[in-house]
Amino acid sequence: MSKITEEIEKLVSPIVDDLQLELVDIEFVKEGRDWFLRVYIDTPEGNIDIDQCAQVSEKLSEELDRTDPISQNYFLEVSSPGAERPLKKEEDFQQAIGQYVFIKTYEAIDGMKEFEGYLLAYGPDALEVEVRIKTRKITVIIDKEKIALARLAIDFSA
């Protein structure tokens, strides 16, 4: 996490906690010539609505104006993480057990760096994903430190 996203997390966490929402992720990225501060929120049930996003956006905007932690111009976006929600925290992975996921690794495992399948287990050091390769299913064990990206995915084969 960058210094800016850490600062934003300190500002937005009390806001989402007060509204009984969940902070999913924070991004501060440059796209073209513009900078974007993106805050992804959800409800514990996974059904965030536009009014809740607007509430968080308004309150966070006030805090950002008050504290001014970002020197350059940027656009603030507060939204749902969507159907392909990122998996970053321990709780995210625990809640995703049994769900279809996409995992990208820093280095190849059995010649592959991308895995799509059902998350079978998540432990202190590794996770297990059931992956379909053509007509057969295999279980792949992925060390946590090798994970570059993890998110929920949509199973189009179902």
pLDDT single digits (tens) 49-70: 999 999 999 999 999 999 999 9
Q: Assess whether 123 and 144 both reside in one domain.
A: yes
pTM: 0.79
Instruction: Supply the range of the domain harboring residue 39.
Output: 3-79
Q: Assess whether 44 and 97 both reside in one domain.
A: no
Which among 122, 125, 127 has a CA at the least distance from the CA of 91? 122
- The pLDDT value recorded for residue 46 is 83
Q: 10-residue block means of pLDDT along the chain (158 residues)? A: 87 96 93 95 90 96 93 94 89 93 94 94 94 90 95 86
85 located within any domain: no
84 located within any domain: no
What is the token pair recorded at 37?
A: 């501060």
**Considering all CA atoms of the chain, what is the largest pairwise distance in Å, rounded to the nearest integer?**
57
- The pLDDT value recorded for residue 1 is 53
Domain stop point among 17, 48, 79: 79
Q: Assess whether 111 and 141 both reside in one domain.
A: yes
Q: Assess whether 67 and 134 both reside in one domain.
A: no
For 110-126, what is each residue's pLDDT tens digit?
Answer: 889 999 999 999 999 99
